[in-house]
Amino acid sequence: MNTNGRGRLTRGCWRGGRGGLILWCFLSVLPSAVGAAPHSDATQECLACHVDATPGIVSDWQRSRHAETTPADALQAAPLHRKVSSEEIPQSLQGTSVGCAECHTLNPQDHKDTVEHNGYSMHVVVTPRDCRTCHRQEADQYGENIMAHAYGNLVNNSLYVQLTESINGIQVLESGRLKTAEVHPQTNDDACLSCHGTRVEVQGTVSRETDLGEMDFPVLTGWPNVGVGRLNPDGSKGSCSSCHARHAFSIEVARKPDTCSQCHKGPDVPAYKVYQVSKHGNIYASQKDKWNFRNVPWVVGKDFNAPTCAACHVSLLVDEGGNVVAQRTHRMNDRLPWRIFGLIYSHAHPKNPDTSSIRNAQGLALPTNLDGSPVKEALIDGEEQERRRANLHAVCLGCHSTSWVEGHWDRFQKTLEETNRMTRTATEIMGRAWERGIARGPGSDGNPFDEPMEKLWVEQWLFFANSIRFSSAMMGSDYGVFDNGRWYQSKGLREMMRRLEMGRPGARDDEKP
């Protein structure tokens, strides 16, 4: 039995109904219960079974904008208030809500994870390419984002692969020496690739018994995952649900810094911890219950009165007169002239979001040389840096005076200079250790990140320098002094120097087979 899209019982419910479930299905799919928008017949059929099979998912979707409006209605909003960026949306999708079927049966021919499911060609993984149907600009911008290339930037860079092996590899004691075993793929999926994104591939299908009888489901490797650079079965990169958690895909969730904390908490990327101890984070924690996180555009001073991650880097911001303060962007570095974390030195942002092809003077896939000098041809120039700085300044000037903003920026750039200089000192010490054979560096047979001296070196830039930079950038200075910053950077340098002075050729504690 099919529905008319307005709440009658579905074929799936009749086939799978158990006693009171039929009445429950009937009540659950009425538009008055889930929003004003009519739902397609296919989505009604999905709801009729999944309200029992996955009630949390259904409830989440019912509270979403997708359930409450149609693409046709969304297109009628004034440009600044519009939440879709595609000028043309297929007519077949415009008249109903964006429901289960509209997402999970879209573009089935492109999805290797498509299976027959209760009469429909259904795919499990919904991708940025699917979301692009209504959100073209956001999807295209995200595809040009370093985040979208996070998987390849990690696994296609042999130097980073060695770093992940030194972290994730199981260490065993053999003949009095530590040896590191090969990393299991699931270990990487559970560690670094949890944020960078996994490669989701179809390995076949499996049959499971359901209320509607036996059904086939795809067997996926690298799943589940919502990493920012996930490689999807349709060939696309990324996951919109990294920030807009499924199935509500809420703007409110994406705008709150708690969402960003999933991957930006530290100690390598301590943005969230720094934000918490900053004055901005203090205001957010104290007053967030009074803010409007759903309004589009986001009005500075009215909807919120201190920045979140999204306010600085992503959201469309206007003043109370409707004047645009910052355009919406899903290229996260559009307002960032400097790249301050994850690498040995801070540097201007790369021109290409795929950074795995960059080579420095030492032949390493790094945007700087080991002495800190930039690989200029791979990085944006000063003019582009200034444009991006002006974009971010505009956000700051929504609440602060010019002298405040410029003073803060001058201090931040001094921090970049000093942390790079301290990192250079650590790298010079490390270089001497490699020369003397105390450890095996780049170009040798060993892993340049796995020995005790090398781990101290990694901490210098991956933990301590990053913490100092974030603390300076986000006005959380206390975190950058004693917690994980300047104190430990200076202490670590002394320890590295002590090991260099005591070291001798061949005095390695770790060896990889």
User: 176 or 237, which is more confident?
Assistant: 237
Nearest to 21 by CA among 6, 10, 33: 10
Write down the pLDDT at residue 342: 87
Residues 322-381: tens digit of each pLDDT:
999 999 999 999 999 999 998 999 999 999 999 999 999 999 999 999 999 999 999 999
251 pLDDT higher than 50: yes
CA dist 390 and 410 (Å) reads: 14
Nearest to 379 by CA among 141, 137, 146, 140: 146
According to CATH, what is the number of the domain 333-502?
1.20.850.10
- Give domain limits for the chain: 105-246, 333-502
Poorest-pLDDT segment among 27-41, 55-69, 167-181, 262-276:
27-41
The answer to whether the beta carbons of residues 378 and 352 sit under 8 Å apart is yes
Other CB atoms within 10 Å distance of the CB of residue 396: 18
* Tokens read off for 257: 């810094």
Alpha-helical regions (H) of 29-112: 31-34, 41-53, 55-62, 65-68, 71-75, 91-94, 100-104
507 pLDDT higher than 60: no
28 pLDDT higher than 80: no
φ, ψ of residue 438 in degrees (nearest 5): -70, -30
What are the C-alpha distances in Å from 271 to residues 67, 308, 401?
A: 33, 11, 24
CA dist 259 and 469 (Å) reads: 21
Tell me the percentage of the chain whose pLDDT exceeds 70: 91
Other CB atoms within 10 Å distance of the CB of residue 101: 20
126 pLDDT higher than 80: yes
Write down the pLDDT at residue 19: 35
Residues 413-469: tens digit of each pLDDT:
999 999 999 999 999 999 999 999 999 888 777 899 999 999 999 999 999 999 999
Residues 278-325: tens digit of each pLDDT:
999 999 999 999 999 999 999 999 999 999 999 999 999 999 999 999
CA dist 45 and 43 (Å) reads: 5
Q: What is the 3-state secondary structure (H, E, C) of 102-116?
A: HHHCCCHHHCCCEEE
The answer to whether the beta carbons of residues 371 and 377 sit under 8 Å apart is no
State the average pLDDT over residues 95-105. 97
Nearest to 353 by CA among 505, 166, 147, 191: 147
> Is the peptide bond preceding residue 448 cis, with omega within 30 degrees of 0?
no
Q: How many residues belong to the chain?
A: 513
- The one-letter amino acid at 350: P
CA-based R_g, the chain, Å: 26
Q: Where are the beta strands (DSSP E) in 136-188?
A: 171-174, 177-180
CA dist 467 and 481 (Å) reads: 9
Band of pLDDT at residue 13, cut at 50, 70 and 90 = very low
* Tokens read off for 472: 């300076």
What DSSP state is assigned to residue 464? Answer: I
Residues 396-420: tens digit of each pLDDT:
999 999 999 999 999 999 999 999 9
Residues 46-61: tens digit of each pLDDT:
999 999 999 999 999 9
